[in-house]
Amino acid sequence: MTPDMTLTQTLVIALLQAIAVILLIFIIVPLTIFAERKVLGFLQQRLGATRVAGGHVGITGFMNKRMWGMGKLPFLSYWRGIPMLVADVLKLFIKEDIVPTKADKWVFLFSPALSMIAAITVFAAVSFYPGALFHFPKAFPLIGGLPFNGVLADVNAGLLLILGIASVGVYGIVLGGWASNSKYPLLGGLRSAAQIVSYEVPLTLSLLAPVVLAGTLNFNDLTRRLATELPIWAVLPMIVGFLIYLTCGFAECNRVPFDMPEAETELVAGFHTEYAGIRFALFYLAEYINMMVAAAIASAFFLGGPFLAPFGLHKFLVGVPFLGAPNALFMVAKVIFVLFVFIWVRGTIPRYRYDQIMAVGWKYLIPLTLVNLLAAAAIRFAC
Amino acid sequence: MFKHHEMEINMGPQHPSTHGVLRLKLTLDGENITSCRPVIGYLHRGVEKICENKTFHQGQVWTDRMDYCSAVANNLGWAEATEKLLGITVPRRARYIRTMLNEYNRIASHLLWLATHALDIGAMTVFLYAFREREAILDLFELFCGSRLTTTALRIGGLRDDLPPGFEKKAYAFIETFNACVDEYETLLTENRIWKKRTVGVAKIGAEACLAMGVTGPVLRAAGVAHDIRKAFPYAAYDEMEFEVPTRTEADTYARYEVRLEEMRQSAHIIRQCLDKMPEGPVMAKIPKVLKSEVNEVYHATEAPKGEIGYYLVSEKGGTNPYRFHVRAPGFVNLQALPQMVQGALIADVIAAIGTLDVVLGEIDR
């Protein structure tokens, strides 16, 4: 709340921003899922989703026919699988919501929501653009002329907020696995508890290096200082930090090669084995939203966010027209790139074993991040 | 307040990576396996008993359905065992074509193994790469005999038909590119650190234990024993072929992976020799309408992709169907090694062990 706004105005704008963020999530997440199918298809020499199953009747049948007509054009034919997203969501909504008889009912019902809430709330502190994206026209009642910022909650300890809320999400997984009262979900839940708690440490430590270099926790200030005010030597800890952060990001989002909690071929479906319908969908969505958060943080802190050049090299570009100015499109492009890396890695490498994941985290990543942090501190001290 | 508690968990018969309907009763201490007991029989159809009530020609169709991933190898064993029993000599051209088809089948079976094994360990792209080449082999089978999986490609006494026009060209085209394809799988796996971490030293079973349990095939060869029935007791046209038996001494999952990849290359080499040296002549021996056995009993072993597949046929002189039929299925014998392989290992290693044994439940349960 800036001093020139009343409380009502602040709340109305915050509400509008919240709606915008949620809409953004629910547009981007399905597109990520579609992209995952298509990119994996590309990596594996197949087409990916090209149609909706379900013949020529009903909603999906209608979509199929329309998309098939469009598909005669060469470019559009690639997008014929798009209705699949609608069909997926429909299916998950319509399916019966089964609760196992011996499950701990309330915990079982609540834990997907917990995962989802944690995942969405994190977005409040993620900034896509420093400052106002646009101003409401003067003609608007109540909020006319006020700015619509690129971040919902511009708090001073933004990074701390993100890390804190993100770590609540693991409760959803652990409790979901435990409440199912079944053996495979239990193993999945335990694995995930151990894994996420272990990887939280190097993840946070790898983010501390940029924080030390920039000297602030505010998301916007961090992004700006990291992009434009770093000494040239800071490139090294930034690159190392980026690689470590990305690795931990895979682990935090339960993605290959660290998809232990699910480990499809070992634990059937891990912690969500007993979940069906929309509750399963909540877990699924939460995973993808977490991926987006990880991608957003990686691009904001290490790749320069809305500033074009990555790893703090942007200061050489300041003053250049268009490329030198911050632009939300740069941020979006970087997020998309990091998401692509997530999918790319999934298509390329196998899965670690549980004990090996722990070894990687504790024996290699944590010492490496500590050294990196020291290097960052030394650079900060020297320059 | 806290007490040590072991958990018994049921892996299968419906589980994404037990390759069909294998069921394992695992006792877990945390994530470590303290005991593993395979439970089989979910796919039992009584193939042996059924074949005893069929004529020799009819029985052959059932052998396809045992190890459905390597139908030709099963057919070949049955056909040769029956030919021994009936005293039939197969024309040379038929033996060459049989050898070639058998090797194609070996590649197809190994590709399926590679695909599912890699998928189990989490490398999903290898699956589709391997299936790309397997598809080409299945197309060749389709061209030859009309079916793709359960082919019944061979007949007792030779082959039903000669190679169709255009077959040789396509067969050559496949082996021209196949070695490059194996290289491509290797780029994804061989030097991959995670793949090595998951396979090196995992599910070890040494040569002595293998021999004690009768384990054969790539599992035995990866333990350093160069036992291959194609070399030891040549059948079909293998005595005229030049090939190597790849072995490793590490006896772990990675060694088996290397052995199988090398076997695929050797198979391609054998196919090339078959095509190059293909003799002319008939493909079917003169056999009577009703087959009657000449001797009382016969055991014939061949090298299937999974190991030694043996057909034991008992019949009376002049009988038109086997009196007793028994299959020494390699998968069944190899599966015995599983509890020893996974003792003290982690759950993820069980998956790797099942994959590396290359079990097909159709053959184990018969």
- The string of DSSP codes covering B126-168 is HHHHHHHHHHHHHHHHHHHHS-SSS---EETTEESSPPPTTHH
Q: Which residue has the higher pLDDT, B334 or B16?
A: B334
Centroid of chain to Cα B211: 19
| A71 in any annotated domain | no
What pLDDT is stored for residue A75 in this prediction? 67
Best-predicted range by mean pLDDT (A38-47, A207-216, B263-272, B278-287): B263-272
Asked if residue A169 has pLDDT above 60, the reply is yes
B10: chain A residues, CB-CB within 8 Å: 183
What pLDDT is stored for residue A264 in this prediction? 62
What pLDDT is stored for residue A216 in this prediction? 78
Q: B203 and chain A: CB distance < 8 Å anywhere?
A: no
What pLDDT is stored for residue B28 in this prediction? 85
- Nearest residue of B to residue A184 by CA position? B9
Smallest Cβ–Cβ distance between A268 and the set B15, B127, B189 belongs to: B15
Which residues, at least 6 apart from B167, have a Cβ–Cβ distance to it below 8 Å?
B140, B143, B144
- Nearest residue of A to residue B27 by CA position? A183
Q: Which residues pair with A134 in a beta bridge?
A: A148
Asked if residue A35 has pLDDT above 80, the reply is yes
B129: chain A residues, CB-CB within 8 Å: 44-45
Q: At B336, phi and psi to the nearest 5? A: -55, -30
Q: At A311, phi and psi to the nearest 5? A: 55, 35
Angle at B185 between CA B183 and CA B187, to 5 degrees: 70
| Mutation target vs B (from A39, A46, A265; most B CBs, 10 A cutoff) | A265
| B1 in any annotated domain | no
- What confidence tens digit (pLDDT) does each residue in A126-156 have? 777 777 777 777 777 777 777 777 677 777 7
Total tally of structural domains belonging to chain A:
1
Total tally of structural domains belonging to chain B:
1
Distance CA B18, CA B365 (A): 14
- Percent pLDDT > 90 in chain B is 17
Asked if residue A1 has pLDDT above 50, the reply is no
| A301 in any annotated domain | yes
| A36 in any annotated domain | no
Q: B288 and chain A: CB distance < 8 Å anywhere?
A: no
Asked if residue B65 has pLDDT above 70, the reply is yes
- What confidence tens digit (pLDDT) does each residue in B141-163 have? 999 988 888 888 888 888 888 88
Could you tell me the residue range of the domain that residue B164 belongs to? 7-365
| A2 in any annotated domain | no
**3-state DSSP call for residue B231?**
helix
At B111, is the pLDDT very low, low, confident or very high (cuts 50, 70, 90)?
A: very high
A119 neighbors A281 (Cβ within 8 angstroms): no
Could you tell me the residue range of the domain that residue A141 belongs to? 98-382
Return residues 349-368 of A near B (CB < 8 Å): 349-356
| B2 in any annotated domain | no
What pLDDT is stored for residue A265 in this prediction? 64
Helices of type H across chain B: 47-52, 56-64, 71-86, 92-121, 124-145, 167-189, 193-199, 207-213, 218-221, 229-232, 253-277, 330-335, 338-342, 347-357, 361-365
CATH of the domain at B361: 1.10.645.10
| A318 in any annotated domain | yes
Distance CA B85, CA B67 (A): 23
Q: What's the mean pLDDT in A92-109?
A: 84
| A65 in any annotated domain | no
Chains A and B: how many Cβ contacts under 8 Å? 82
- What confidence tens digit (pLDDT) does each residue in A306-345 have? 777 777 676 776 777 777 777 778 888 888 889 889 888 8
Distance CA B58, CA B306 (A): 24
The distance of B164 to chain A (nearest Cα, Å) reads 30
Distance CA A341, CA B33 (A): 35
Q: Is the CB of A350 less than 8 angstroms away from the CB of B132? A: no
